[in-house]
Structure 1
């Protein structure tokens, strides 16, 4: 009996028709393994994962392979996006055993859930020194039958290693010297030819870009700004960016951003939307502004769900073929556009007879700025219309709390900066869904689908990223309810996720399901670490929530950042959000309160603040002493005129009444 048919995860539902006797992760599955005294076969993946689909087709849909699995194991299927806690534990084990990780992840566990053999993708036939999946199944089953005690002892050693390697980092401050050294180290690791950092595969360094922008704003560092501009332009012109519809793919398989891994993730696009909006606001770059607008519209058009949330991802594959929807040949361009426009588009987008992808097809890149804007708009519209007639990638339409929090933050901030009320409205819609569907008895659920909350409890990043999003929405709208909801989430996070070591946090709550290890990963990877996201939200909340909470939130943020000092110094590429939080703390944080009798009277000052405030600043407008808005308490008009109050580190300058004075105050 396949037990995945009632799952809320689209990834689990993809496997509901397999002949494998799948279980979801649940106490009953572990109890069944103990009853039978057989190992657990844990398979972890996600809906947009190309090689997950491949292994499913080759092995999990094969009746002979399924028979082996069912005879010798209790088989558990996990969506890593729904249960990041489970994924984190066994990915750490996989990396410890093999030196690498990835998805699909294939782990063999004792009936108690302790890992004794881990790997990733296994082919149906032996290949390149990798055994076939069937060979592996037979070998593990025989080893368990003959050497169970030895395997159990090895599993205990693996868990001891994980516990030793994942303890809290020692305290280490993040001062001006640390931040400047991080910029210097990033400059050393930068790819001067192609932009970005490191070699292939190359991932968009969204949080690092945000840190560098904040550092440039605070210190005037030309190096920091140059790193951002080079990387942002290279990505925006590369194949990793959808030149027709907007939005970024997960990563580039090459160093030059030419060929993407085609899946589009909500978290990447939310984080990049924020970074490009910040760059456009700071420099006035037309390219950065266009990418900001197109990425925001991609979120609203392609990822928004009927309930108002944002879907997790678009698949890497279309009908089992990666890139099928997106790539072009010169002949296809001519077929859609005619010979003249087709040739012009091929030259502009780098579409060649040899191709940059597979089978003579090419990804679309923007090799130069178009010399005819009308022609550019006409060609893009025609190509996008033709592309929509092709088969489209599937969408994982589950709503993940943390990633929606990132999207709410980006849309609210960008909406204010560029006067796009529709973006703020969309952010409000997502917040309303999360507030009404994900909050159950005062606690946050990780995901939902079709408006129904899933069973998985929220982890630290869910509480933190959503809280930061609600604080951004409070600033964009002035609505007190978003501030109240955010501080409620932060209070739960501080009470339930704190570790015994001061300033450190676990990724799961103290009353969450007990697993074989309680994960606590401090590194910023594809998304912010739960602890760094919490620190970011605490800094904003300390400036917004009023005196009774400000001290607690500020102290907690500073203690958390001190736990990341060593990481920030040694590996800044994996501490981008920590460094951005540290920059906000070093800057004050900057607070701007704009008061006026009505929205029209405040508009000019608010626009100047949104344009000029540092990244990580708090900007909010409203009527003097508006109820439920602590930042506006004791703020009055000046001689009957709207006024802006600029504060740094809770020390305020005299109020100003003109945009020139406000811009000068923020520049200072």
Structure 2
């Protein structure tokens, strides 16, 4: 995290892979993200970079060390920010949306120019705002999600998104596929479908899950980290097609595929073709046959390498997305996969009561569990537990959520300034103790905790959770309007706070239809509690059940801060109350 902050300060953006050069004392002085094997798209090759760094270190060492000290001082200032005393209101969110609009690419979607990163946290905030019928957010969300899923950025044959696009139109990707991007985008596309009813968004979510489950699963129960961009030493070779090759493979179905995937003689990438969504399918059966044949042909090639590390934070992001998307789109098997992933993390990555960061079984040897978990590991573990609670209503997930929240506060909370440090109080001391405030490739720990602790507070009635969340929001409250693209998840947390979340309680035998109705709608700020046969002891753990443990028929309550509308007894009446409350 220290070095990611340094890279962001130097280059204006971060991500993985990360390349940072340090002094012997561990002080960063130069860095970036991906440097290709050969010069490409204005980037030097990694070999060229090594030569330049070596020469600079040899001839200008004093200047390098001075620059490193200044950079370290800048990075350290982030953790010293004082909390704002101003209120967190919907005006903060409105100002942020103006910032989104000012950099929005209305033609191709996304923000700014090439290279373009998917920025799922920001898209998720737009979808959240669109669910509230915000007229500014809706076109930004729909345009960007549509354009991203139409370009080569999205694998039109097997599903899954590449890490970023080297152009402004999402056509030519850097072909590496990351678990964390796809986990977040899965949830965003599922939510976007629930808000817009655009069927393409559902299809993209389903294809992304298929890729995750078929290509990224680790045999122990987690997910691997990434697929390389290169195969046989050539970036993108696995994914592209020449036109004659397409005709040879597909025969009579070639015409349908050529039109739909935009194949041409000249290609769109180094004289070859990256499949894109160039036209709406007309002959659906023929296109299905063509996709199946092309995919089988592609799978006969040398595959890109897999990074088989299983990372706690990225796996928890995947589990949270699978659980919520499974409920939204009616895929119970996705919820089962989420449960399996979280059971694996719980049984394998918690060692002596401490959540660890990574797992790997290399070459059939003994599994290796390494490194103390950071704040983001606890934040995303908490998020996944709450997602599974709201889809299964198994009390174990609420219990695990409370454990994760308590440990996050104990190990990482900054009791002086508010918010959460990146490393635990029991971790090795670094050149500075970082505080992860800005969203990067994944949400910042502070953003995720600010949102999930609020949810847990409403479910459990423990005000200390909300207090910690509000303190985290106040640390960055004055910055989100000025730099909204760095705070997508924190804006979601502030949206949750500013709108007073709905507390939806559903009880009674035969209440499944009401639960299903809630699950199939994206409600930006809510907690959901459902028991067919609630017990008095359940009310002890979940105060919103108090007085509601002996229903004589299916009953639902829609509340805010404990003040409830009249109870209703069918799905239509429940959805009407929810829509009126939003």
Question: With structure 1 as the length reference, what TM-score do the two structures score?
Answer: 0.80
1:154-553 → structure 2 map (5 Å cutoff): 155-164=68-77, 166-168=79-81, 170-171=83-84, 172-218=86-132, 220-338=133-251, 340-358=252-270, 360-450=271-361, 452-544=367-459, 546-547=460-461, 549=462, 551-553=463-465
2:564 aligned residue: 652
> Could you say if the C-alpha distance between residues 273 and 142 of structure 1 is closer, same or farther in structure 2, counting changes exceeding 3 Å?
same
> Could you say if the C-alpha distance between residues 525 and 624 of structure 1 is closer, same or farther in structure 2, counting changes exceeding 3 Å?
same
Query: How far apart are the structure 2 equivalents of 1:271 and 1:194?
Result: 21
Query: How far apart are the structure 1 equivalents of 2:12 and 2:282?
Result: 49
The structure that has the greater radius of gyration is 1
> Could you say if the C-alpha distance between residues 328 and 98 of structure 1 is closer, same or farther in structure 2, counting changes exceeding 3 Å?
closer
Query: How far apart are the structure 2 equivalents of 1:207 and 1:153?
Result: 35
2:57 aligned residue: 140
Do 2:83 and 2:418's aligned partners in 1 also have CA atoms closer than 8 Å? no
Deviation, 1:165, is 5.1
Deviation, 1:314, is 1.0
> Could you say if the C-alpha distance between residues 128 and 332 of structure 1 is closer, same or farther in structure 2, counting changes exceeding 3 Å?
closer
Query: How far apart are the structure 1 equivalents of 2:455 and 2:368?
Result: 28
Deviation, 1:119, is 6.9
> Could you say if the C-alpha distance between residues 139 and 509 of structure 1 is closer, same or farther in structure 2, counting changes exceeding 3 Å?
same
Query: How far apart are the structure 1 equivalents of 2:206 and 2:12?
Result: 40
1:634 aligned residue: 546
After superposition, the C-alpha distances for 1:392-444 in whole angstroms (9 at most, x for unaligned) are 11111111111111111111111112221110110001001110111111111
> Could you say if the C-alpha distance between residues 644 and 322 of structure 1 is closer, same or farther in structure 2, counting changes exceeding 3 Å?
same
Count of aligned residue pairs for this structure pair? 567
Deviation, 1:596, is 2.3
Deviation, 1:454, is 2.7
SS of 1:594 mapped into structure 2? strand
Deviation, 1:96, is 5.3
Deviation, 1:91, is 4.1
Deviates more, 1:153-162 or 1:321-330: 153-162
1:568 aligned residue: 480
SS of 2:115 mapped into structure 1? coil
Query: How far apart are the structure 1 equivalents of 2:36 and 2:315?
Result: 33
Unpaired stretches in structure 2, ≥5 consecutive residues: none
Question: With structure 2 as the length reference, what TM-score do the two structures score?
Answer: 0.91
Query: How far apart are the structure 2 equivalents of 1:100 and 1:285?
Result: 31
Query: How far apart are the structure 2 equivalents of 1:259 and 1:455?
Result: 36
Deviation, 1:97, is 6.1
| Aligned equivalent of 2:504, options 581, 592, 599 | 592
Query: How far apart are the structure 2 equivalents of 1:189 and 1:151?
Result: 34
Query: How far apart are the structure 1 equivalents of 2:175 and 2:512?
Result: 41
Query: How far apart are the structure 2 equivalents of 1:245 and 1:619?
Result: 34
Deviation, 1:346, is 1.4
Deviates more, 1:122-131 or 1:273-282: 122-131
Query: How far apart are the structure 2 equivalents of 1:603 and 1:566?
Result: 43
> Could you say if the C-alpha distance between residues 117 and 239 of structure 1 is closer, same or farther in structure 2, counting changes exceeding 3 Å?
closer
Deviates more, 1:464-473 or 1:125-134: 125-134
Query: How far apart are the structure 2 equivalents of 1:543 and 1:452?
Result: 38
2:492 aligned residue: 580
Q: Considering Cα pairs closer than 8 Å and 6+ residues apart, tell me whether 1 or 2 has the greater RCO.
A: 2
Query: How far apart are the structure 2 equivalents of 1:637 and 1:488?
Result: 25
After superposition, the C-alpha distances for 1:115-158 in whole angstroms (9 at most, x for unaligned) are 456677598999799966356436635767xx7xx876665444
Query: How far apart are the structure 2 equivalents of 1:372 and 1:402?
Result: 42
Query: How far apart are the structure 2 equivalents of 1:302 and 1:106?
Result: 30
Do 1:190 and 1:198's aligned partners in 2 also have CA atoms closer than 8 Å? yes
| CA RMSD between the two structures | 2.7
> Could you say if the C-alpha distance between residues 326 and 151 of structure 1 is closer, same or farther in structure 2, counting changes exceeding 3 Å?
closer
Do 1:625 and 1:635's aligned partners in 2 also have CA atoms closer than 8 Å? no
Deviation, 1:289, is 1.0
Unpaired stretches in structure 1, ≥5 consecutive residues: 1-87
Query: How far apart are the structure 2 equivalents of 1:97 and 1:130?
Result: 20
2:470 aligned residue: 558
